[in-house]
Amino acid sequence: MSVIFYNSSLEMSFYNLILHSFNSFFYFTLRVIHNTLANLFFLFMFFHIFRSWFFTSSNNLFVLTTGIAMFLVSCAIAFFGYCLPMGQMSYWASIVIFSLLTVVPFGVLILLYLFGSFSISSRTLSLLFLLHFITPFVLLILFFLHYNYLHASLSSNTFKNDFLDLTSFYPLFIFLDAFIVFLFLTFFLFIIFISSYLFFESANFLAFNTLVTPLHIYPDWFLLFPYAALRSIDNKLIGVFLLIFILLFFFYSPVINSLLTRLTHFYTFHTVLIYLFFLLMFVGSNPSVYPYSFVVIFFQFILYILIFIYFFLLLFLNETF
């Protein structure tokens, strides 16, 4: 087990305070509630994104942009919080993600500054805790922008304020929303009291060991699909570009769908994307060995076809229209 050295009595007292809270009952209660709510938040966010693919259009660019920005900020918040417990899995996952900074110019110096040492130290944890606390306020600002842009046009489907299409919120929709809230609370209480550690990784209950690398390093379930894409490429630089491409795919996939609809009336594009999303989650949660490595190769061909379709349609539509 690795040993952390502290340079001041203040850090030592802070470390003792963490140990005292870690051994208390309310610490685990709050940790289970916080982790469960965060995972359910991502679950409903994916439901919301998938629903917007099928029931709304991509005409309202501000709504689409703020929504994707909310998703990216939420992923950053989840990563900062995932690294804080410094368990065996979160430590090595943070090492993998932070090492991606080495592909940018002066990335090694940036990484050394973030670590405050040659590896993750108490300075890194303090920085991660600060970011995990501040970035939810950025998410709150993006939420109000998203909400404002959505209702400024009275709909997510059009730019025009068509008052003839307005419907009354009460009483139908308020009962529908109350029923959804009731289902959410039921599912939440079921997890809290029946399966408290459903969203926890077992390796994170072990203290991190810098000398022992886990056989399979992977993040939480909602970050498995970009992680699988990153892991499918041997070159780190190309893998980072592919990671960014997958994350931003939520932004321009509605554009591709609208282009395909205009050309061929192909309405099942997003259905294929959802299948690929679950396929990537399955591949990312398993080690990179056969037969999962073969699935990754198959996915690469599918991804290259989607990239080719995207740029081909952009060129074709610019020349046609």
Q: What CATH number should be reported for the domain holding residue 155? A: 1.20.810.10
188 and 298 inside one domain: no
Q: Would you state the structure tokens that stand for residue 297, as one six-digit string?
A: 């190769």
204 and 255 inside one domain: no
84 and 189 inside one domain: yes
156 and 96 inside one domain: yes
Burial class, 267, CB count within 10 angstroms (exposed 0-12 / middle 13-18 / buried 19+): exposed
In this structure, the dihedral spanned by the alpha carbons of residues 178, 184, 189 and 190, taken in order and rounded to 10 degrees, is: 130
Last residue of a domain, one of 169, 197, 217: 217
Residue 268 corresponds to which amino acid? T
Query: pLDDT grade, residue 70 (50/70/90)?
Result: very high
User: Are the C-beta atoms of 117 and 6 separated by less than 8 Å?
Assistant: no
Query: pLDDT grade, residue 7 (50/70/90)?
Result: very low
Last residue of a domain, one of 173, 201, 217: 217
Range of the domain at 282: 220-321
Taking the C-alpha atoms of residue 255 and residue 265, their distance in angstroms, rounded to an integer, is: 14
Number of domains in the chain: 2
Question: Structure pTM?
Answer: 0.79
Task: Name which of 80, 75, 158, 92 is nearest 124 in CA terms.
Answer: 80
102 and 247 inside one domain: no
The pLDDT of residue 160 is above 60 = no
**Strands, E, within 128-285: which ranges?**
none
The pLDDT of residue 140 is above 90 = yes
Domain at 290, CATH number: 1.10.287
Last residue of a domain, one of 170, 197, 217: 217
296 and 173 inside one domain: no
Q: What is the pLDDT of residues 12-24, one digit of tens each?
A: 544 555 555 556 6
Q: What local confidence, expressed as pLDDT, does residue 262 receive? A: 60
If one compares 258 and 26, the residue with the highest pLDDT of the two is: 26
Q: Would you state the structure tokens that stand for residue 223, as one six-digit string?
A: 């970050």
166 and 42 inside one domain: yes
